[in-house]
């Protein structure tokens, strides 16, 4: 299951008669909406999105009622959720309900109480769902093992039963429902005046290394033989070969039933014995079905059963960006802007779904007969949701092609949206200048020291004059350190349209231009100072 298993608890505040409605709504909406979020999103992204939506709804209910100026009587509740996916537990929490884990004969509290205690008789919640228009959700992620036991409880339970007694009651019973009832009865006997709610979750087994469901075809469907022109494969007639590489074979085919033309992609002959490659190959069809953008190649939907492993997409009448660059060595600046903006829109479709393309290069961008730019080939894509469910299934050393891969990949770091931005920056630079921003040196910079020595070649030496502010935008997009790149793709495309005032400053500190040289100079100065002090003594 790609979304994992959820356990949720909520508790309305005692000062409000709407607390029960708030708590029931928070639990119901999370359990319903979480499973409606895209499978490609990470648990963290999905959980935060759903919890934030629940908070917005509760706060709006209070704002529309006669309690708009008395939040403590409105639609407010505490909230704690546990999501177990593969071998990881994800905790979402706000308020003073708690999530515990049994450990060493007692209960270890995994969440913090968002409550300010003023005295033994006076305290109030500092954070809760519905308390304000926005809420900061506490999030935590940890490993789980078979046999782990988690407890979710409201303050009516854990304030009147000691953690050690909770653990003892659970250890003494195999029936977890009976253990929960015993703990609740103990809390009531000890004078609990509040609602007493507990959930006990025991991990009997953790997820395996494979993401179930959609990857089954990678393990069960065989790669098809290389077809001849005129042959048929599951109702598709092969018309001609489109492209062959060490990674795949692509053919133009026609649907026998409808006559529609499609692109049929088959696994490479050289890699058919590589299970990891076949899983990534199967992922391409899965990804295409979850992205809807005019700037990403679309899948060709069919309900026919498949006898072999292949990917079917729309057929694009056009040419790759690489061929277009060969045919148009000196494109107008406005054309470059248009291409970069369309690629950015396609990348945003990936990023909104918790995906990274990771192999953006001119060969993986198509321009159709109408001039529409589309991203193709998802063989190196990273999907947050799948990576969580199957952390061992999609390990690659450096995704994509080294000339366009972001430098952080060479250091073994995981990529993010700024990594795809780097690739887009390199392509945009190449469209303008016909070369790469660091030449061939970037593909050999496998250490932080080597990357610090990379020197950007100004785009001013292009075939036509390039405004300095555009050169500055390109330089920022391809910075070796991802922290110094644009924060968003839209920021980069905007900087290609209008001058960014931040680029107008003349002096750039040495610490920013060359951090290594800066700290070397600082070290030399300090050494000289120390030497002087020693000699002076």
What is the number of domains present in the chain? Answer: 4
Check: CB of residue 444 under 8 Å from CB of residue 454.
Answer: no
pTM: 0.76
Instruction: State whether 356 and 474 are in the same domain.
Output: yes
Would you report the helix, strand and coil content of the chain in percent, each value rounded to 5?
A: 40, 20, 40
Tell me how far apart the alpha carbons of residues 406 and 425 are, in angstroms, rounded to a whole number.
10
Question: β-strand 311-314 against 248-255: which pairing, if any?
Answer: unpaired
Alpha-helical segments (H) within 353-416: 384-389, 407-410
11 domain residue, yes or no: yes
Domain CATH number, residue 266 = 3.30.200.20
pLDDT beyond 60 at 468: yes
Quote the CA–CA distance of 115 and 98 in Å, as a whole number: 12
Q: Residue 463: its pLDDT value, please?
A: 65
Claim to verify: residue 193 and residue 236 sit in the same structural domain? no
**Triad 329, 477, 326: Cα angle to 5°:** 15
In this structure, what is the dihedral angle of CA atoms 304, 306, 310, 316, given to the nearest 10 degrees? -10
Domain boundary among 285, 314, 343: 314
For the ranges 1-10, 482-491, 512-521, the lowest mean pLDDT is seen at 512-521
Q: 218: which residues sit within 8 A by CB, 6+ positions away? A: 275, 278, 279, 281, 282, 309
Helix orientation angle between 19-33 and 43-64, rounded to the nearest 10 degrees = 150
Would you say residue 466 has pLDDT above 60? Answer: yes
What pLDDT score was predicted for residue 494? 96
User: Could you tell me if 298 and 369 lie in one domain?
Assistant: no
pLDDT at 212: 45
Q: 372: domain CATH number?
A: 1.10.510.10
Average pLDDT score over residue span 293-311: 88
In what side-by-side order are the strands of the sheet with 149-153? Answer: 106-109, 98-103, 149-153, 198-202
Give the containing element (helix H, strand E) for 488.
Answer: none
Between 242-256, 333-347, 498-512, the lowest mean confidence (pLDDT) is in 498-512
Average pLDDT over residues 342-360: 95
Say if residue 496 is in the same domain as residue 516.
no
Residues whose CB falls within 8 Å of the CB of residue 61, separated by 6 or more in sequence, listed in order: 18, 22, 74, 75, 130
Higher pLDDT among residues 324 and 502, named by residue: 324
How far apart CA 115 and CA 309 sit, in angstroms, is 55
Question: Per the domain annotation, does 117 fall within a domain?
Answer: yes
Q: What CA–CA distance (Å, rounded) separates 237 from 235?
A: 7
Domain annotation covers residue 73:
yes
For residue 267, the SS3 value is strand
Residue 296 located in a structural domain: yes
Does residue 461 carry a pLDDT above 50? Answer: yes
Query: Do both 362 and 278 map to the same domain?
Result: no
98 touches 152 (CB < 8 A): yes
Q: Does residue 442 sit within a domain?
A: yes
Mean pLDDT of the chain: 88
Task: Let me know if residue 320 belongs to a domain.
Answer: no
| Residue among 77, 79, 75 nearest 59 (CA) | 75
483: CB partners within 8 A, 6+ apart: none
For residue 194, what are the contacts with CB-CB under 8 A and spacing of at least 6? 14, 154, 155, 156, 159
Rounded distance, CA 319 to CA 316, Å? 8
The whole-angstrom separation of Cα 233 and Cα 236 is: 5
516 and 426, same domain (yes or no): no
Could you tell me which residues come within 8 angstroms of residue 232 by beta carbon, excluding any fewer than 6 positions away?
Answer: 238, 256
Q: Using CA atoms, how far apart are residues 534 and 526, in angstroms rounded to an integer?
A: 12
Domain annotation covers residue 393? yes
State how far the Cα of 406 lies from the Cα of 428, in Å rounded to an integer.
14
The residue from 314, 347, 376 where one domain ends is: 314
Which pLDDT value is given to residue 337? 96
Report the C-alpha dihedral over residues 117, 122, 127, 131, rounded to 10 degrees: -170
Task: Tell me whether residue 267 is in a domain.
Answer: yes
Q: What is the pLDDT of residue 167?
A: 94
Based on the fold, state whether residues 518 and 373 are members of the same structural domain.
Answer: no
Q: What is the pLDDT of residue 216?
A: 58
CATH number at residue 197: 3.60.40.10
Write out the residue range of the structural domain in which residue 476 sits. Answer: 328-506
Q: Is 70 exceeded by the pLDDT of residue 363?
A: yes
Cα angle 417-517-448, degrees, rounded to a multiple of 5 = 40
Q: In the chain, how many H helices and how many E strands?
A: 17, 20
One domain, residues 15 and 132: yes
Dihedral of CA atoms 95, 123, 58, 152 in degrees, nearest 10, equals 30
Assign 3-class secondary structure to 161-178: CCHHHHHHHHHCCCCHHH
Q: Over the stretch 197-217, which tens digit does the pLDDT of each residue have?
A: 999 999 998 765 444 455 556
Are 198 and 113 contained in the same domain? yes
- What residues pair up with 83 in beta bridges, in sequence order? 6, 90
Q: Both 99 and 194 in a single domain?
A: yes
Q: What secondary structure does DSSP assign to 44-73, as a single string? A: HHHHHHHHHHHHHHHHHHHHHSTTTT-GGG
SS3 339: helix
What backbone torsions phi and psi does residue 507 show, to the nearest 5 degrees? -90, 130
Verify that 365 and 467 share a domain, yes or no. Answer: yes
- Predicted confidence band at 113 (pLDDT cuts at 50, 70, 90)? very high
**Same-domain status, 491 and 347:** yes
Whether 287 has a pLDDT exceeding 80, the answer reads: yes
Q: Which of 176, 202, 228 is the last residue of a domain?
A: 202
Question: Burial code of 301-318, b = ≥16 C-beta within 10 A, e = fewer?
Answer: ebeeeeeebbbbbbbbeb
pLDDT tens-digit series, residues 175-193? 999 999 999 999 999 999 8
């Amino acid at each position: 299951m790609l979304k994992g298993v959820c356990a949720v608890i909520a508790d309305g505040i005692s000062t409000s008669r709407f607390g029960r409605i708030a708590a029931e709504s928070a639990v119901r909406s999370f359990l319903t909406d979480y499973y409606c979020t895209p499978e490609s999103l990470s648990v963290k992204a999905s959980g935060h999105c759903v919890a934030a939506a629940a908070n917005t709804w509760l706060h709006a209910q209070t704002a529309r009622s006669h309690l708009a100026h008395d939040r403590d009587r409105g639609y407010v509740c505490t909230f704690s959720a546990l999501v177990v996916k593969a071998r990881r537990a994800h905790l979402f929490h706000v308020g003073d309900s708690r999530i515990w884990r049994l450990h060493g004969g007692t209960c270890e509290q995994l969440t913090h109480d968002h409550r300010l205690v003023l005295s033994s008789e006076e305290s109030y919640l500092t954070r809760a769902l519905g308390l304000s228009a926005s809420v900061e959700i506490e999030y935590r992620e940890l490993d789980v093992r078979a046999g782990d036991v988690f407890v979710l409880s409201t303050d009516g339970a854990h304030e009147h039963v000691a953690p050690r007694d909770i653990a003892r009651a659970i250890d003494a019973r195999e029936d977890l429902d009976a253990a929960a009832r015993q703990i609740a009865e103990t809390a009531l006997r000890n004078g609990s005046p509040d609602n007493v709610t507990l959930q006990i979750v025991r991990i009997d087994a953790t997820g395996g290394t494979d993401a179930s469901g959609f990857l089954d075809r990678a393990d069960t469907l065989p790669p098809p033989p290389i077809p001849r022109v005129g042959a048929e494969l599951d109702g598709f007639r092969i018309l001609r070969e489109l492209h062959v590489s060490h990674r795949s074979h692509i053919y133009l085919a026609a649907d026998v039933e409808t006559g529609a033309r499609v692109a049929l992609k088959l696994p490479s002959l050289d890699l058919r014995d590589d299970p990891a490659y076949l899983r990534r190959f199967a992922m391409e069809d899965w990804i295409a079905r979850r992205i809807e953008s005019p700037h990403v190649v679309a899948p060709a939907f069919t309900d026919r059963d498949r006898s072999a492993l292949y990917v079917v997409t729309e057929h694009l009448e056009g040419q790759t960006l690489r061929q277009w660059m060969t045919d148009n060595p000196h494109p107008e600046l406005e054309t470059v802007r248009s291409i970069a903006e369309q690629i950015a829109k396609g990348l945003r479709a990936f990023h909104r779904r918790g995906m990274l393309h990771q192999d953006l290069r001119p060969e993986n961008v198509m321009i159709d007969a109408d001039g529409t730019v589309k991203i193709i080939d998802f063989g190196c894509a990273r999907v947050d949701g799948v990576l969580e469910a199957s952390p061992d299934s999609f390990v690659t050393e450096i995704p994509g092609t080294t000339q366009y891969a972001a430098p952080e990949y060479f250091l073994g770091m995981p990529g993010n949206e700024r990594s795809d931005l780097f690739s887009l920056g390199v392509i945009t630079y190449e469209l303008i200048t016909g070369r790469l921003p660091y030449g061939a040196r970037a593909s050999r910079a496998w250490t932080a020291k080597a990357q610090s020595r990379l020197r950007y070649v100004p785009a001013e030496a292009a075939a036509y004059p390039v405004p300095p502010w555009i050169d500055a935008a390109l330089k920022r997009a391809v910075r070796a350190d991802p922290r110094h790149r644009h924060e968003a793709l839209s920021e980069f495309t905007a900087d290609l349209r209008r001058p960014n005032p931040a680029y107008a400053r003349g002096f750039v500190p040495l610490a920013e231009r060359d951090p290594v040289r800066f700290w070397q100079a600082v070290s030399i100065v300090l050494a000289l100072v120390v030497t002087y002090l020693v000699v002076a003594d």
